[in-house]
Structure 1
């Protein structure tokens, strides 16, 4: 599935990835039902009403009064499965075109309006079966959004010209390069689809389609696709949030009611893949550093009675320390650090996949043999009742997280509207799955059944592929300078005929009453050991979301042996003094809790989410982890191998490489932040258990810690649950090591990292800048909105993507913590326009302050002030408020002060901020791409010969 988000690439939707990811489980168990037996819904987890207009448009309302916002989703019941061979990629191409113009909003009208009304930015995704367009806005803008969505559905196609189509083809092709061609293992999905299904099956091609088909698409093809599929009777409008449904009905009838019904839509019937023999395919991946084996079996379609049991099966095989495949491949044979599995149930057919990215140099025949051994163990041991219970409890918490926001609710309702059924029915089916069902579907669909086995191996290492593999069919685009046609930047400004309507649709509806934004009420406390605690009571969902953040993080690393912080984070949840790794993991899952540990540049963080009713026992387990680690030598070796593998794998990721080069240049090789976040292969190999114990003793102390929580539980309940940690975490003196802040370079230089045959170039331009605590930080963020922080309202996006078709996405912004900060511009651009895109991006930065206008300020002020209605909707956003106040020391009223900054900003202040903090002549320019075709050209940027960085990075990483 592809999304419009800038730099998003391929995004997986939990709802379409399988029933298990979507459905919650109630705490009370019902009597099990046989697989396939009709099960009545048992609850109403997402209340909604549905009705239809006379023209067939389906309308779905969900009321959520928790925040003054609404999410609006327009769903077209068309995905890549409606296409035909030779005309693939149309559904996804249409998603792109649909965002550009409409007859009555004008060129780019939706994006411009989104900025003015404080929307989240129009976004969307296309899958095999559905295309969804969605956005969250303050609730005073609901009528405007209904007007805009109707204009797209019924008053759009005349705006699409040959010039518009030509430009958007380039954007889509950039998306494909970024998501598929220019990333390790990116071709895996297309290879599997082509092998799994016959050529005329609509799932045999990828959603994004082929470059050849995109190039061949004509304007008539696009218009025919629109008239065939974009009709009210093949669409749905879903609204979730705080709104008046009676008034919304009136608006929907006004704006959508006169759009004509379509010719009718044929009924789709399930069509299995029909695979009759196992196929082994291999590909030498230009980017991969590690070998990867993926096994894919034909599964079942979305509404098949076996879908739930297959979802549970994949979790039983790979979810957890005691899962049979994990036991064999990770703990015993040490071939990998992770085994992934999933069941994807689409409308016509389904797939079950298991994927293993092996350690460096591991022959994939060994991986296959280990998988076979794991399957035998599973066949012998079966499924225990305890495992089933843990899986179902985890599913409950996971589902609530998926519908935390109104946007999540609209996506969920859109999915079920297309797929049929309901959350409640899926819940009942999942609850009914038995151990016998799991074993039955394993024997029916997996054990000894034909499948696709893909071996993706690094260049020159074909010996690592499965024996008997044939070379996969992969089309790789050559880099040819000047191959693409020129793009007409003014294509969308040409006049066009308007479709007739009974009223003047060019008049934008008025805004409703201004939303009342309630700033969250924050409570604070301090425990006896000095641990600071803060919280926000939030009873929207029965979930508690928390973070224990400890100041320091990587800054405590020894620069001569870096990586201790990251390695400690990796083993911290691997058991306690009294619990084995499996026992600790199972204890968390039994509570519906998930906990993760990370080491950032300035903080060591334990993050978690649990059912609120289980908060106290969850925090008791966190206390065990923190105060009584297991210090398991075997787990340390597993973590060490996994970390080294991740370091190696990062060398295959162009985006990661660009960030690595930027940090090295910005901080220098002797600064702790100038190295890789995980350390080096040598330093990780050298770290001992004593090193990790010393880090824990010196860096993880209560005086540097802050616990923050968003939950239904109030201050009294939370502090009671924290009381034991407050008594038992012994205070110790600790000072965070001081490292110098980098300074801007005296002059700009260009740094180039060579990735031969790269289809895109990754660029990062920037310099050291403001910390989050600096007085100008928020003002500079306001300044950057129109430059590169405002999504499709930003100049960078409008010129590099919408104007020239150079990129799929580009952004700029200030990122800062307590001690360090940066300003960066980042993008992935078509390889053969690396110079042109870099020059244009640099010039936009350079000229921004001098060209900023009063209109720019109006858009900025409107967007940033109105968007505050969305600022506190999710638990993550509320945790961010707590962190800014509790950790960074921002004043308790900082939100009000920031609102005042927006209101008081002037054009002259914006210009002054741009002149002060954006200096293109004192900037680090990093490019990761194909040196043979692009390095020499970049001399024309004006910063001398590119400094080649491959050897410098290799030396720093030794």
Structure 2
């Protein structure tokens, strides 16, 4: 569960560190390995707060993560969803930061976006900020623990309940297969077990929760002796330690918290359940076995087992279900590990109208084949090589390192376990894999869930019982009213000093752009590189401009199919042999297509760079053109297109493109194509596309990592020699203007719990000189996350939505302005009216404080622009796409500094066009279509009557 959509990896591989600590006395004992040495310090305050420091001088930034050892498992039946609720509440207000709390401060100090996430076992709060804002962050985090709960009033609680309900609708109720985990956990765990309910909780429990219930939960769990604070990055340890003492020392602990007991779940019989999914187009079978909790000695072999069974052409489950029987295009297996228990989940989303009994029989046969054929020691080594690459990748940011330290500290009581953890994984042998397979999987009872499309119950496993799934009814006017503008009245907590005074900034660090080197190969391909030796890792990509722009109108989806086939073997390597060659390097190589390019992405250990580039060269220049893989790729894409047709969010994105661009415009097309066009595409079409539309002169190579320029150029010499010069031009696209006046369109999804909204029009290209300035102007409207006016009004003030954003999205050849959100179905009209009015009034409402916040964010956030591998690759991509210099980020600072209230208002006048908006609603027409006539924008147009 997350406060907004954000990918955060809380379990990664393994860091070589060891520390011996006692309260108030810090001892650092780094243990160096051949490749990495990460030191940390740990100390414990008298109130029990555990603090971990890690120094990383590579960038002038610092990550602060506060993690509380409380998740949904610490809740009680009938009172679920509280931990996740506090993930939301702790950002809204505190006694000394005031309303808006950390969100508003984050915008001012250039933070990466204050955020949080909740699991079964912990809740964390985190962000990365420029290092001169560290004291501000420590001050703010202390307010969460000692000076917060009094600000939670009845009004605040009522409003945030509605936000959480919107999150549940968006994440579970209004999407295909959204209730799968709910059905599994209800049947896997005994009634009352801490994992038998979902992290988001029951909406009935949440609705019935009283203010006293919420306050009691907070006072029990959000206390110093149940919390770990990690500070990671470029800072002064002694100064930071003084600040931690100053702000946290007087916060009182609670009574000693007893640990929860780990439980071995044992099923007495196999349980089969089915659910007719309102949004699913394809049948999906999931088998779940109870296993071991995280860090249990068996968990390491179980993790590797998932790779062995389902990753790659050689994996027995893939071989049987994908290649032999062609029942699906993907088999997914994950080991879902938690503190108290674990579960192995095997999921197959079959092709349309496939009987899941056939899928289950195929799985049984695949397991039999696995037992008969076994696996080699090399198979195990390839998986472990991949894990080594993942290890370094997860440590490429100060926040990533901070997450790992907190994770191990909380769940093993020792951050130094991070050193031993890698050895546990590397010590797994063949005997371990067979042992855990026999112990947890072979002939063991499991939970089988069949999620089938409405009206296709016959596809479910034989003898399945109907699952009990509770779906909330959306009734207009049923939600509690609240006034978010009302100022909270509460008694402030006493403190030994005035905590209302926000600390000053520290000494600012100067920002230095990384040194970018450039070159051009003899075939015309442009090379951009940054040498970075923090980790023995390299990431690179090749961007070949064109992509779906070169698709023929009657054969859209050709570029996408070609990219899929380039992953499937080479002239001299079968698909299986290619996969094994990549795995042996511990590398990742992926080719994919977008609307405007075909991309090759690769990640590898620096010592394996040359071998990885050789494989990429072979994949690009010597395709295999495998007929069986081509047929399977077509079937997979058709399956994806059918899945898109049931997902309201994806439908909204696809339909909005069709409304912004005219019918014959390249960008109006779905890059996957349509079922009709995919069926028309032949293997010869792919060969023709390949010969005609891939060219070095339209390609750029971007690389970041532990490698010198000379080594990169040497590694690319074969590619330069064998990929001959060819000069192509991109197709010219007609200019698209906004409509003359606003129109409303509706796409009907019967019984949808949410309405997906897309509002916008064609706008300036990414290459336009004003594109960056336009996004600065948009920051306070909808580009600033929780600092934006749209979020503050529709989420925080009204409780209509879980998230909303706006932005000018552009490339060298196109541009558009889009506002996107999902709102509770019964406030569709109200939400659109509010958005329409806010855009209309933005130019006049924008004030000096908005300007100050905007400028502060853009100037301060530049400290994070060069930190991670992805950030550096993004710099290189922008340079190659738009002809920018390596100092362009510093040059953009001058644009921000020169912004005035008048220039923002002029930008809003030039690029915000409320009278020319295209309004698209994807939702329940039966209840919402007629209401939209009240917008005064003419008769709504139903797109799928």
User: What interval of TM-score do these two structures reach, taking the shorter chain for normalisation?
Assistant: over 0.9
Contact kept in structure 1, 2:786 and 2:792, CA below 8 Å: yes
Supply the distance in 2 between the matched residues of 1:390 and 1:75 (Cα, whole angstroms): 34
Is 1:611 the counterpart of 2:602? The answer is no
Match of 2:104 among 112, 132, 138: 112
Q: Tell me the residue number matched to 2:871.
A: 877
Partner of 2:848 in structure 1? 854
Distance in 1 (alpha carbons) for counterparts of 2:216 and 2:330: 46
Asked whether the 8 Å contact 2:156–2:484 carries over to 1, the reply is no
Taking the TM superposition and a 5 Å limit, the aligned residue runs for 1:922-937 are 922-937=916-931
Equivalent of 2:731, from 720, 725, 737? 737
CA distance in 2, matches of 1:755, 1:454: 25
**Equivalence for 2:221:** 229
The Cα shift of 1:133 comes to 0.5
Aligned to 1:72: 64
- Which of residues 694, 698, 701 in structure 2 aligns to 1:707? 701
Structure 2 counterpart of 1:687, from 674, 681, 684: 681
Equivalent-residue separation in structure 2 for 1:625 and 1:851 (angstroms)? 54
Structure 2 counterparts to residues 163-562 of structure 1, below 5 A: 163-420=155-412, 422-491=417-486, 493-562=487-556
Aligned residues: 928
- The aligned counterpart of 2:26 is none
8 Å Cα contact 1:175-1:808 kept in structure 2:
yes
CA contact (8 A) 2:513 2:887 kept: no
Asked whether the 8 Å contact 2:16–2:37 carries over to 1, the reply is no
Tell me the CA shift for residue 45 of structure 1.
5.3
Q: Secondary structure at the match of 1:535?
A: strand
> d(CA) in 2 for partners of 1:191 and 1:454?
7
Alignment pair present for 1:597 and 2:591: yes
Mapped to 1, the partners of 2:721 and 2:419 lie a distance apart of 44
Question: Which 10-residue stretch deviates more, 127-136 or 479-488?
Answer: 479-488
Distance, in Å, in 2 between the alignment partners of 1:490 and 1:809 is 19
Mapped to 2, the partners of 1:276 and 1:652 lie a distance apart of: 37
| Cross-structure match for 1:29 | none
| Deviation at residue 667 of structure 1 after TM alignment | 1.1
User: Is the 8 Å Cα contact of residues 563 and 679 (structure 1) preserved in structure 2?
Assistant: yes
In 1: Cα distance, 2:442 partner to 2:39 partner:
40
For 1:638, which of 632, 637, 640 is the aligned residue?
632
How far apart are 1:411 and its partner, in Å?
Answer: 1.5
Distance across 2 between alignment mates of 1:221 and 1:809 = 27
User: Would you say the 8 A contact 2:513–2:886 is kept in 1?
Assistant: no
Over residues 478-497 of structure 1, what are the superposed CA-to-partner deviations in whole Å (9 max), with x where a residue is unaligned? Answer: 12111101221224x22321
Contact 1:41 1:427 in 2 (8 A): no
Query: Which residue is 1:35 aligned to?
Result: none
Corresponding residue SS for 2:297: coil
Q: In structure 2, what is the equivalent of residue 102 of structure 1? A: 94
State the alpha-carbon separation in 2 of the partners of residues 23 and 277 from structure 1: 37
Q: 1:62 Cα shift?
A: 0.9
The answer (yes or no) to whether the contact 1:238–1:414 under 8 Å persists in 2 is: yes
* Counterpart for residue 127 of structure 1: 119
Q: CA deviation at 1:553?
A: 1.0
- SS at 2:882 equivalent: coil
Q: CA deviation at 1:773?
A: 0.8
Alpha-carbon distance in structure 2 between the residues aligned to 1:814 and 1:780: 7
Distance in 1 (alpha carbons) for counterparts of 2:864 and 2:33? 32
**Corresponding position: 1:4 with 2:3:** yes
State the Cα distance separating 1:25 from its structure 2 match. Answer: 11
Q: 1:14: Cα distance to partner?
A: 4.1
* Structure 2 residue 13 is matched with structure 1 residue 22: yes
Q: Deviations over 1:648-673 (max 9, x none)?
A: 01111111100111011111222222
Task: Kindly state the Cα deviation for residue 274 of structure 1 after the two structures are TM-superposed.
Answer: 2.9
- Rounded to whole Å, the distance in 2 between the matches of 1:884 and 1:267 is 50
CA 794–222 in structure 1, closer or farther in 2 if over 3 Å, else same: same
**In the aligned structure 1, how far is the partner of 2:557 from the partner of 2:735?**
20
Please say if 1:87 is aligned against 2:79. yes
8 Å CA contact 2:748–2:922 kept in 1: the answer is yes
Check whether the contact 1:289–1:649 (CA below 8 A) recurs between aligned residues.
yes
What's the CA shift for 1:130? 0.3
In 2, Cα distance between the equivalents of 1:339 and 1:448? 20
Work out the CA distance in 2 between the residues paired with 1:119 and 1:742.
36
Residue 15 of structure 1, CA deviation: 3.5
Whether 1:56 and 2:55 are equivalent positions in the alignment is no
- Cross-structure match for 2:742: 748
User: Shift of residue 897 of structure 1?
Assistant: 2.5
TM-score normalised according to structure 1 size: 0.95
Deviations 1:370-397 (A, max 9, x none): 1111101111122211110110000011
Higher mean alpha-carbon deviation, 453-462 vs 727-736, is at: 727-736
Matched, 1:760 2:748: no
Separation in 1, partners of 2:913, 2:209: 43
Q: Is the 8 A contact 1:773 1:890 kept in 2?
A: no
CA deviation after TM superposition for structure 1 residue 303, in Å: 2.8
C-alpha spacing 1:297/1:889, structure 2 compared with 1 (3 Å): same
Alignment partner of 1:544: what SS?
A: strand
- The Cα of 1:109 is off from its aligned counterpart by 2.1
Deviations 1:796-817 (A, max 9, x none): 0000000100001000001100
Q: Deviations over 1:830-868 (max 9, x none)?
A: 111111111111111111111111111000000110000
Secondary structure of 1:814's aligned partner: strand
Matches of 1:230 and 1:600 in 2, distance apart? Answer: 45
Secondary structure (helix, strand or coil) at the match of 1:481 reads coil
Contact 1:667 1:673 (C-alpha < 8 Å) held by counterparts: yes
- The alpha carbon displacement at 1:745 in A equals 0.6
Is 2:224–2:253's contact at 8 Å kept on the other side of the alignment? yes
CA offset at residue 888 of structure 1? Answer: 2.3
Please list every run of 5 or more consecutive structure 2 residues that lacks an aligned counterpart in the other structure: 18-30
Please list, as runs of the form range in 1=range in 2, the aligned pairs for 1:29-48 lying within 5 A after superposition: 46-48=38-40
Q: TM-score, normalised by structure 2?
A: 0.97
1:288–1:458 Cα contact (<8 Å) kept: yes
Q: Is the 8 A contact 1:179 1:186 kept in 2?
A: yes
SS at match of 2:108: helix
Report the Cα distance in structure 2 between the residues aligned to 1:25 and 1:356, rounded to whole angstroms: 37
Gaps in structure 1 of 5+ consecutive residues:
27-39, 952-958
Check the 8 A contact 1:487/1:805 in 2, yes or no: no
Aligned-partner Cα distance in 2 for 1:503–1:852: 36
Provide the secondary structure at the position in 2 that maps to 1:943.
Answer: coil
Q: Name the structure 1 match of 2:563.
A: 569
Q: Say whether the 8 Å CA contact 2:802–2:823 is kept in structure 1.
A: yes
Change (3 A) 1:202 1:393: same
Alpha-carbon distance, 1:890 to partner = 2.9
8 Å CA contact 1:24–1:398 kept in 2: the answer is no
Whether 2:936 is the aligned partner of 1:942: answer yes
Gap change, CA 1:886 and 1:827, over 3 Å in 2? same
**Which residue in 2 is equivalent to 1:33?**
none
In the TM superposition, 1:718-737 aligns within 5 A as 718-737=712-731
Moved more, 776-785 or 379-388: 379-388
The 8 Å contact of residues 15 and 38 in structure 2, kept in 1 or not, is answered as no
1:665 aligns with 2:656: no
CA distance in 2 between partners of 1:940 and 1:322 (Å): 59
Cα pair 1:597 1:606 within 8 Å, conserved? yes
The one-character-per-residue Cα deviations of 1:916-954 (angstroms, maximum 9, x if unpaired) are 111111111111001001111111112122111126xxx
| Structure 1 position 887, deviation (Å) | 2.4
Contact kept in structure 2, 1:593 and 1:611, CA below 8 Å: yes
CA shift in 2, pair 1:91/1:947, >3 Å: same
